[in-house]
Structure 1
Amino acid sequence: MKMHKFRPLWWLGRLIWRWQNTLVGVMLVVATLAAIRYWPRPPLSAHASSSIAVHGRGGELLRLTLSRDDKYRQWLPLAQMPAPLVDAVLLQEDAWFRWHPGVNPISLARGAFVTYVQGGNRQGGSTLTMQLARLMYGLNTRTPMGKLRQVGLAVWLEMRYAKDDILEAYLNYAPYGRNVEGVAAASLVYFGKPAQDLSLPEMLTLAVIPQDPTRRMREFAAIDSGAQTADTLGRGLRAARDRLYARWRLVHGGSEGTDAVFRLPLRVRAPSALPFVAPHAVEQALRESSLDPGPGGSRIDMTLDPFLQATVERAVADTLGRYEQRGVTNAAALLVDTRDMGVRALVGSADYADARIGGQVNGTLAKRSPGSTLKPFIYALGMDQGVLHPRTVLRDVPSSFGPFTPENYDGRFLGPVTATEALVRSRNIPAVWVASQLASPTLYDFLRQAGISRMASERHYGLALVLGGGEVTMQELAGLYALLANRGVLRPLRLRASEPVASGVRLLSEEASFMTMDMLRQNPRPDEATSAEPARLPIYWKTGTSWGFRDAWTAGVFGPYVLVVWMGNFDGAGNPALIGVEAAAPLFFRIADAILAQDRSLAEPAWTVPAHVKRVEVCLASGDLPNTDCPQRGTTWFIPGKSPIRVSTVHRRVTIDTRTGRAACPPFDPAHTRSEVFEYWPSDLARVFAQAGIPRRQPPAPASCDVDSAMAGDPPRITSPVRGASYSLRTRHVDDDRIAFHATVDAGVREVYWFLDDAFLGSARAGETFFWQPGSPGSHVARVVDDRGRADSRELRIEATQ
C-alpha cells in the first residue's frame, strides 16, 4: 500500500536521473566539439609554401616565382576573391557545400553505383571538403579504403575549421594543370592578371579546369608548341565552360550581351610565357624582402616601370652591338626618379641568359673604380668650404702632392682653367689641388657620410681618391648624383614600393649643389651624339674612365631622372675602347634621348636660384674681381661670405720709357713715356704657355725707383716640399737623397733665394727647381724669398730609414 503510494515519485526520480545523464552527455559532446573547433590549430594557409608575385609600378606582373615545392601557388584571402568566381566554383564542384558536414551521402552513393555497379566512368562523388582533404594529405582515393580515409579527414576538417576557411583553402590549393595551383596563381599564369580583374568568361573557365586538369592542359598543348597566346580555348574546355554557363544563367540570370561575350574568343597564355622582366632588379628585391619581410606576404610591388625598363634594355643591346668587335662584352644601366628615389629601370648586364659574360651577375651592385665621376663632388665641397667658385682660375700645370704626381689623361697641361672648364674637361691636376684644400669634410669623409660601403682607410687612398682610387657601385653613384639633383639632400634608393620615401640628410648646401649642377650643364654632348636631335631638357652629366681602361662610365641628370651607365667586362679586363666619353656617353645619351622623346610630359624640376647665391662680375683671366685694367669680364655664381674673392692682379698698368723700353720712374714725361697693360702670370703658368706655343708678352722689370711697384703682385708660393709630407733619408744611401725645392713666383720675378732654418742654401732662377741634400733627420722650416723681398715658408720633416 505504502509502496504503491510512492511509485509515481519513484518513476519521476528515475526519469530525472535519465534526463540528467542525457544532458550531461549532450554537454560533453558539445564541449568536445567546441574543444575540437576552438583548440589552437595552424591556419590552412600554412600547409604549403607560396609563390611570390612581383609587380611593377603600374601593377604589371614582372615575375611569378616558384614556391619551395616548385609550384606556382599564391594565397589569396576569400574576402579578396571575386564573388562570381566563388559562386562558379561552388556551382561546378559542390552546390550543397554550405549544408553538408563534409560528406554528401547522396553524391557518394551515386558515385559508387556508377563506378562499381554500372561500370561507367569513375566518379568519386567528392565534396569540396573531401577534395581539399585529398589535396592536403596526398590521398589515393581510387580504392575503397582511400575513399574512407578521405571521408574521415573531410569530417575532421569540417569539425576543426569554418566553412569559409575550407572554401578559401580549396580555392588556393585546387589543381590547375602542371604545377599551377589555386585561382590566384592560375589567373596570373593563364590570363596575366589578378583574380580580381578576371572577366566572367575567364572566371568560369578557371572554375571547370580543376575537374580534370590533366586533360585541360592537353588542350593547351597548342599554346606551348608555338604561339605565346591562343585566340580560342580547346574544344573540350570550351564545352565544359559553356555547360557551366548554362547552369549559371539558370541560377544567376543573364542577358544577350553576356551571351555574346561568351561567344568571343578567349585568349589564354601558356605557362611557359610567364613574364621574366628586369631579372636583376627582381632578384635584388626578392633578396631584400627575405631579409626584411613586409606586409603583403606573397606579393612585392616594385618601383620599376616596365616601359622604361624595355627602353633602357633596347638601348643597351643596340649600343653594345657596336662594341662587341672591339672586345667590349658587357654593360649595365640604372635609372632613378629623384622625385621619390624609385628605381625605374635596372639593367644589371647585357644579357641575363649569357653565362659567357656572367649575365646573371648584377653589375649595378659590383664595386668598381668610378674614374672621374666623383669630381663634381670635389668642386661642390670646395664651394661649400670657400675654396673656389665656378669661375675661379685653377692651375693645370705639372704638380706634385707629396709622393703623388697626377697626370692628365691626354698627357697635356692647359695652364690656367676655370673651375667649370676643369670639371667639364675632366682635368686631373686642378681636381687633386681642390681635394688637397678640403678640410672638413674631406672627400673621404663625404663619401663615408654618403654611405659608400667597404671603404679602406683615408690614408690608403690619399688624394688619388678623387681620380677613381676608391670603388663604388652604380647604385651608390646614382645616389650621389641624386643628391646633387635634390639640392644637397641624400636619400636612399627605393626598389620596393613598400619602402618609405625618406626625408634624407643634407650633405651639401643648396648653393653648392645648384652651382655644381650649373657647371655640369655646360658639358657639351659628345661628338657621336651631336647629330641627334637636341634634347628638350638640359642634361647635367659627367664621364669617367678607370685606371687601366677597365671601366667606362657616364652619370648625369635630366628632367626628374638620374641615369648611370657602365660599359666594360665583368672579368675586369682592360680595353683601350673603354673610355667614358667614347663608349659610355653615347649609351647615356641614347637612353636619355629615347626617354625624352617618348614622354613629352617630362619637364625640368622647378630650379630656383637659392636665396644666398648671387651673380657677380669677375675678370675672366683670373676669376677675381676685375680691376680697372681687366679687358674681358664675365659673371659667375657667388656665395657671399663663403666664396673666395679678391681684386685681380693679372693685368697691371705700367708706364714705359719709350727710349729704353723699361719701366719709367716718376715724374713721367708725356713726350717720352706711354702707358701699357701687361699680364703678370705666375712662373708655372708662364712655363705652360711657353710649352704650348702660346705667346705671352714678358712684362718689364720694375724700375729701381718704384718701391711700390716692386712690392706689387703675388708673393712666391712653395709647391715643393709638400705641406705636411715627410721625406725619407736612407742611412745607406745618404749621398743619393735630394729634396726638390720649387716655388711659383710672380711674372716680374727673376730670381729666388732658398733658406733652411734661416741658413742660406742657394738661389735659382724663377721657375727653376733647387735641389738640397739633407744631412740628418729632423724638423726644419724651408723659406723662399724672391728678388722683391716677398717670402713664403713651409715646415719640412725628414725621417731616417734603412
Structure 2
Amino acid sequence: MKTGIKKKLNKVIRAGIYLMFALVIVILLIPIPDPVFDTPNSTVLYSSEGDLLCASIAEDEQWRFPSSDSIPAKFEHAIRIFEDEYYHYHPGVNPVSIFRAVWQNYKAGKVVSGGSTLTMQVVRMAYGNKKRTLIQKAIEILAAIKLDLFYSKETILKLYADNAPFGGNIVGITSASWKYFGRPPYRLSWAEAATLAILPNEPSNIYPGKNQDKLISKRNRLLSKLAKKGFMSDEELFLAKEEIIPAEIYDLPDHGYHLLYRSIKEGKSGNNIHSTLSASLQVKVEEIVNRYSHKMASNEIHNAAALVLNVKNGSTLAYVGNSKNSGSHGQHVDVITARRSPGSLLKPFLYAASLDEGLITPEKLVPDVPLFYNGFAPKNFDKQYRGAVPADEALASSLNVPFVHLLVDYGYEKFHHNLRKIGFKSFDKPASHYGLSIILGGAETTLWEITGAYAGMKRSLDNYYNRPVNKGYSDLDFHSNYYDKADSLILNEIKLNPDGQIKAPSIWFTLNAMKNLNRPEQEAGWEQFNSSQSVAWKTGTSYGFKDGWAIGITDNFLVGIWIGNADGEGRPGLTGVEAAAPLMFEVFDLLDDQLNLREPFGISKVVCQKSGMIAAENCTEIDSESLPEYLAVTKECDLHQNIQLDQKEEYRVNSSCYEISNMVTKSYFILPPVQAYYYKRFNPNYKTAPPFIEDCNAQDVTKFFDLIYPEKFTKVHIPREQAGNTGETIFEAAHGDADIKVFWHLDNQFLGFTTGDHKMGIHTSAGVHLLTLVDENGNEISQPFEVVN
C-alpha cells in the first residue's frame, strides 16, 4: 500500500515538474514586443528651465508625450493604491486578484472584474488591446510573468504611466498632466494625481468635462485610501477634496513653434527637446515681434523674425521664426533658416580681414569713387561719392563703393574662402559665381548663419583676454549656434573648425566702428537710435528693398532681426535702419546689458590725421594712436607731398622753368585726381595744389588728370532709345584744376570741350575706339574701350 502511494506521489511530482518546465518554456517563448511600445510620440519643446513651450501631435493624432525620466511620487502612489496595491509583491500576476475576479464574474454571470495587475495592463496595451477571451487572458497572464522577469518594477510602472489612455486622444501621464491641469507631472497636487490615476480605468467614460460628479466621487474615495495609508494628513485630505476638477482641457502653450518644427526636420521627431530657450524671454520677444509686425503690415510688410543668442557659448535664448499674425502671408515659413540676401551685413568681416592683412588701418582713407568692373557698377545708398573716406567711417556709414574697392584689393576669392571658414556654409557656389557682388548681398545666407559668425567674432575677442597670451585663439571660438542642450555636450563635434582666426585687435576695431554707427540722413529715422545702451550694431538692406536686417551685440547678448515678406516682395521703406533696427532696439530693452570693449594691447604710433596712415615726414597734422604691432608697420602716408612753388606760392614750378634758389617748398595733401574731384565736394576746406606756372612742364599728368569712365579695356554698352535709335553713354573725367578746359576726341575726331563738370555724352558704333582728352596746358590722356551691343 505504501509502495503504491509512493509511486502515485512520484508521478504527481514528476508531472508537476514537467508542467512547471513546460510552463517556463511557454513563458520564455511567448512573444513580447520589442520595444514594448512602438508607437509614435509627440515632439515636445521645453525651455531651459523645464517649462513646456510647444508640442506637436503624434502621427497617429494622439497627444502622446515622450517618456519622462521618472514617475512623480504622488502619481505612483495613487495609481498603485487604485489599480494594484500589491504591485511590488507579485510576479506580474496577483493570484488572489485572479481568483477573486473569477468568483465575482461567476456570481454576476458576466465579466465585472478582470483582476489585472498593472503589469498585465501594460501587456494588454502592448498587444493592442485585443478582444477579451479566455485564451487571450491566459496569454496576457504568461506574458505579464515574463515581463516581470525581464524588466524592473520601476520600468514596468513607467511603461504604464507613459502609455495608459487618459481620455479622448490623450495618452500618458505627461500629456495628461499638461492637457488637464496645465502643468508638468512633478508639480501635481494630491487631488490632481488621484484624478489622473482614475482615468485609465474608464478613459472613454470618465475624464474632466465628462461625468464630472462620478469622477469627483471616485477621486475622493481614492484620496481617503491614500490618507488611510499614511500618504497625507487629515488636513491635506480635506484640502485635496475641496480642489475643483477643471471641466475643460487646457490649450498647450504655443511658443517657439518654428523651432519645434525645425527640430522635427532635423530628425528629432518624437523626442523631448530640452532647449536653451529662456521661457520668459521667448514669450516677451514673441509679443514684441507680433506687435511690431502688425504695425508694419500697414506698409504691406508682413513677416518678421528675431533671434537672441548668448554670445558666450552660442546658445539660443529666444527664437521667433516668424510673426504669428501674418495670416496668409507665409507665417509658417521659418525665416531664421531661410536663405536671403544680407545686404551690407558682410562688411564688418571684410573690414576685419583687411585690418588683418594690413591693407588698412582703422582711419586710413579708402576710395569712394565710381567703379566699373566687368559690368558691375556699385553705388552708395545716397547715390553720391565722397572721393575718399576713413575705413571706420565707411563701415559706420555702410558705404557700398569703398567696400567694393576694398574687396578688389583683398580679393573676392580669399574673402569667400574666409566666410566659408567661419560658418557661411550657404555660400556653396564657387567664388566666381558671386564675384564682387558678395559684399553687397550678392550671396544669400540665413539669419542663423550670420548671427553665428557675428557671435563668433565677439566670442573670439572675449576669449582672447581669458587665455594666456601664447594661447590667445582657439578653433572653438567660431562654432555654430545651438538650441538643444544636448548639442552643447558635443560642441567639439559641431564646431566649424576654422584653420585661422581673425586677430583680436581687428575684431576690437570692427566692433568699435559698429558701436559708433551712424547713418546718412537719407536713411530716415536713424537719429531715434541714440539709445542709452551701448551696442555694436549693423544693418543690411537687400537690392529691391526685399530684406531689412539688423544685428546688435553687447557683452553677453546678440540680437538678430529680419523684416520683409516671405514671398520676396519688396516694399518702399523696407531698409535695415527704418524697418529692422527699431525692432532690434526694442528687444535690447528687455536685456539689461552693455558693450564694454577692452582695448587690446598695442604700441603707440604717430598717425597722419588726414590720411589715417602711419605718419611720414611730410605729414603736418598728426595724432598718437595705440595700434597692434601688425598695423604699426603698415605703409607710411604717401598722400602728403612736398610741392615746389614760386615765391608768391601761387603756382607750381620745377627746375625746368624756375630757379631752384627761389622755390618755396610746401607740403600738400594730394589725393589722386578722381578721388580729389569728389572729395572736395564733401570737404570744402580741401586745398588742392596750385596749377603749374605757364611754360612749366608737369611730369606726371595722372596725378591731377584722369578718366573716371571708361576705365582701361572697359566694354561699353550703348543703350537703345524707345524709337529704336542708338542712344548715348556718359563718359566722365576728373581734373585737379576746377576752371580748366578739357577737349574731347574720339578716334582723332574732336567732340567738344568741358569745364568744371567734365562729362560728355558719346554715341558710336560697335568695336574698339580710342578716347583722347587734352587740357588747356597740353596734358593728354588716352583710353581705349570697346562698344558691344
Classify the TM-score, shorter chain: 0.7 to 0.9
Q: Distance in 2 between matches of 1:739 and 1:253?
A: 93
Which of 383, 400, 403 aligns to 1:431? It is: 403
- 1:94 to partner: Cα distance: 2.5
Contact 1:390 1:636 in 2 (8 A): no
Cα distance between partner residues in 2 of 1:550 and 1:204: 56
The Cα shift of 1:742 comes to 9.0
Contact in 1 for aligned 2:564/2:574 (Cα 8 Å): yes
Shift of 1:422: 1.0
Distance 1:609 1:45, change over 3 A: farther
Unaligned runs of 5+ in 1: 1-6, 222-233, 597-601, 731-735, 755-763
Q: Distance in 2 between matches of 1:529 and 1:682?
A: 33
Paired AA for residue 553 in structure 2: V
* TM-fit CA distance, 1:86: 2.2
| Aligned residue number for residue 364 of structure 1 | 336
Correspondence 1:516 to 2:516: no
> Higher mean Cα deviation, 709-718 or 505-514?
709-718
1:42 to 20, 33, 41: 33
Structure 1 residues 185 and 324, CA gap change in structure 2 (3 angstroms): closer
SS in 2 for 1:346: strand
Match of 1:686 in 2: 676
Listed as ranges, the matches of 1:30-429 within 5 Å are 30=21, 32-34=23-25, 36-37=27-28, 41-43=32-34, 45-74=36-65, 76=67, 80-97=70-87, 98-99=89-90, 101=93, 104-109=97-102, 111-112=104-105, 115-116=108-109, 126-132=116-122, 134-137=124-127, 139=129, 146=132, 148-149=134-135, 151-162=137-148, 164=153, 166-217=156-207, 219=209, 234-252=212-230, 254-259=232-237, 261-262=239-240, 265=243, 270-290=248-268, 298-351=271-324, 354-429=326-401
Distance 1:361 1:84 in 2: 42
**Deviation (angstroms), 1:257:** 5.0
The SS at the match of 1:573 is coil
How far apart, in 2, do the equivalents of 1:270 and 1:616 lie? Answer: 74
Show the counterpart of 2:575.
579
> TM-score, normalization: structure 2?
0.80
Q: 1:696 to 1:105 in 2, by over 3 A?
A: closer
Does 2:531 correspond to 1:534?
Answer: yes
Take 1:83 and 1:435, find their aligned partners in 2: how far apart are those partners?
65
CA distance in 1, matches of 2:586, 2:409: 37
Q: Which amino acid in the other structure matches residue 531 of structure 2?
A: P
Instruction: String of CA shifts for 1:150-171, please: whole Å, max 9, x gaps.
Output: 5323313223210736544333
Residue 417 of structure 1 and its aligned partner are, at CA, apart by 0.9
Which amino acid in the other structure matches residue 540 of structure 2?
G
The one-letter amino acid paired with 1:280 is: H
RMSD: 4.8
Matches within 5 A, 1:485-564: 485-487=458-460, 489-499=477-487, 500-502=490-492, 504-505=497-498, 506-524=500-518, 528=525, 530=527, 534-536=531-533, 538-564=534-560
| CA distance in 2: counterparts of 1:625 and 1:162, whole angstroms | 82
Q: 2: CA distance between counterparts of 1:59 and 1:790?
A: 78
| Separation of aligned partners in 2, 1:527 and 1:660 | 44
**Identity of aligned pairs, percent?**
24
CA contact (8 A) 1:416 1:685 kept: yes
Amino acid at match of 1:423: L
Of 151-160 and 473-482, deviating more is: 151-160
Among residues 588, 607, 610, which one is paired with 1:618 in the alignment? 607
Q: Deviations over 1:399-449 (max 9, x none)?
A: 222322211221111222111111111211101000101148532222333
Instruction: Give the whole-Å Cα distance in 2 for the aligned partners of 1:419 and 1:266.
Output: 68
Moved more, 737-746 or 197-206: 737-746
Give SS of 1:407's match: coil
Q: Residues 134, 114 of structure 1: CA spacing in aligned structure 2 closer, same or farther, 3 A cutoff?
A: farther
CA distance in 2, matches of 1:530, 1:235: 64
Distance 1:174 1:698, change over 3 A: closer
User: What residue is the counterpart of 1:224 in the other structure?
Assistant: none
Bigger Cα displacement from structure 2, 196-205 vs 546-555: 196-205
Check 1:35–1:264 CA distance in 2 against 1; reply closer, same or farther (3 A cut).
Answer: same
Return the letter of the residue paired with 2:507: S
Measured in 1, the distance between the counterparts of 2:9 and 2:507 equals 92
Does structure 1 conserve the Cα–Cα contact (< 8 Å) formed by 2:105 and 2:113?
Answer: yes
Change (3 A) 1:167 1:318: closer
Q: Displacement of 1:509 after TM fit?
A: 2.4
Show CA shifts across 1:561-615 (max 9, x none).
Answer: 222211111121121121221111111111112333xxxxx4547x44334x445
Preserved CA contact (<8 Å) 2:424 2:445:
no
Structure 2's unaligned 5+ residue stretches are 462-476, 719-725, 745-752
Residues 54 and 691 (structure 1 numbering): CA distance in 2 closer, same or farther, change over 3 Å?
A: closer
Which position in structure 1 is the counterpart of 2:749?
A: none
Residues matched between the structures, number: 741
Distance 2:159 2:650 in 1: 108
What is the CA–CA distance in structure 2 between the aligned matches of 1:241 and 1:728, rounded to whole Å? 88
Structure 2 letter corresponding to 1:534: S
8 Å CA contact 1:529–1:586 kept in 2: the answer is no
CA distance in 1 between partners of 2:781 and 2:599 (Å)? 40
Displacement, 1:515?
1.6
Q: Secondary structure at the match of 2:222?
A: helix
